[in-house]
Amino acid sequence: MRKIILIGLISILIFTSLLFPISTALADVVQYDAAEVSKIMKETDLFNLKSKSAILMDVATGDILLESESREKRPIASITKIMSMILVMEAIQNGKLAFDDMVQVSEYSYGFGGSQAYLAPGEEFTVHEMMKAVAIHSANDATVALAEKVAGSEETFVAMMNEKAEALGLTDTHFCDCSGLTTEGHYSTAYDVAIMSREVVQNYPKILEYTKIWHDTFRDGTFSLDNTNKLIRHYNGTIGLKTGYISAAGHCLSAVVKRENLTLISVVLGAPDSNTRFAESRKLLDYGFANFETTVLEEKNTEIGVVEVQKGLTTSVKGLLASDVNVLLKKGTKQKIERHVNMEPFLIAPVEAGQKVGEVIYKLEGDEIAKVNVVADESIDKASFIKLFFRMVLEWFGIGKSKGDGK
């Protein structure tokens, strides 16, 4: 009797493994034990993390607030899907793809192993549905299906991923697949992942609308999608991005968190377990929000000064700040900032609106923290010889305006 039961159990296991193949690179085992995470946080030393690589970056400035082995090349598992989602969104923004376009599941994308939506060959879902499966559930089969829809094949899509990585300056990143299951030759760094994540926030924010969903469904409500990034529910202000795990990569997480006017990215790679991944990410983010603030020192078009214009229809032009002056500061240091204005002594007409006429440098304790151009507020054409002659005569008799006195 025992033999019959044992044979039956083995048969069920074999049948299940054939129906739902499991990759040797297992799906992310996403654990979040609040008590354990809290305990790990209390024990965590920011300068001696258990994660093999980590970084904390400000989105607005790209400044690095804290890092540990952030340029070390490592496998990144499903964090790879950040780049895959970027390319899908790029295709949508370029008009080559639409959210309601149908994506057909191929034999190749079927049963990819690891995290999956258990797609069947021939099934069709919209790009929107597939994006949910990728962003929330980290479905490998849906990722490959989208890659085939965008590029025709995963191989061509991966070439596009590497081209995009090069365009973003990710010199320590190389992709071999679109889902992150490959271990040999497929790598990135905490720094490069932070740059990828920043690209999402700044240029593809629609991705965040997917990655911040805590729970949804797939296949007409029959398949649950639960977000693998548990910070979405357990850490205030979290708006994405992506978890990852395979045995070679360890537990990984890129998290984007926004509070008031400060948005931070934390990346941890190679954490020993899921709770540590979340605990160390929270510890990094706590440090950032407790110690830093984003401040607009001056706004675009603030008048900085007036520059003399020689041989022009008018004799001077206003200089305005070319952009907002956004800086990331340690809290309590704003009053120590020094402002240095360097303006051109004069300009010779013609002058174009927007032409650089100077710059403003902002320093904190002797270090430059920002530099912004000062530009002409309007165009000034060159004056005719007759106008210049009469202006000279009037100035000779003290009737006209002196140089630099305005318009």
Do the domains 21-293 and 303-396 sit in the same CATH topology, yes or no? no
pLDDT at 214: 93
Decide: pTM greater than 0.95: no
Out of 53, 68, 70, 78, pick the active-site residue: 78
Which three-class secondary structure state does DSSP give residue 252? Answer: strand
Pick the closest to residue 157 from 173, 175, 140, 137 (CA basis): 175
Interstrand relation of 124-126 and 215-218 (parallel, antiparallel or unpaired): unpaired
pLDDT at 403: 42
pLDDT at 118: 86
Alpha helices in 20-139 (DSSP H): 34-43, 81-93, 127-135
Give the class (CATH, top level) of 303-396. mainly beta
Out of 81, 230, 311, 318, pick the active-site residue: 81
Reply yes or no on whether 402 is catalytic. Answer: no
Which three-class secondary structure state does DSSP give residue 32? Answer: coil
Out of 68, 84, 115, 138, pick the active-site residue: 138
Q: CB neighbours of 177 closer than 8 A, spacing ≥ 6?
A: 80, 154, 158, 186
Q: Which residue has the tokens 């041989």?
A: 311
From first to last of the 407 residues of the chain, give the pLDDT tens digit: 444 443 443 344 333 433 333 333 445 557 789 999 999 999 999 999 999 999 999 999 899 999 999 999 999 999 999 999 999 999 999 999 999 999 999 999 887 777 888 899 999 999 999 999 999 999 999 999 999 999 999 999 999 999 999 999 999 999 999 999 987 899 999 999 999 999 999 999 999 999 999 999 988 888 889 999 999 999 999 999 999 999 999 999 999 999 998 999 999 999 999 999 999 999 999 999 999 998 889 999 999 999 998 887 888 999 999 999 989 999 989 999 999 999 999 988 898 999 999 999 999 999 999 999 999 999 988 866 676 555 665 667 666 554 444 33
pLDDT at 319: 93
| CATH topology assigned to domain 21-293 | Beta-lactamase (3.40.710)
Reply yes or no on whether 78 is catalytic. Answer: yes
Q: Which residue has the tokens 């990346």?
A: 267
Pick the closest to residue 235 from 256, 251, 253, 215 (CA basis): 256
Reply yes or no on whether 23 is catalytic. Answer: no
The DSSP-derived string for 171-225 is TT-B-SSSSS---TT-BB-HHHHHHHHHHHHHH-THHHHHHT--EEEETTTTEEE
Domain boundaries, the chain: 21-293, 303-396
CB 358 within 8 A of CB 341: yes
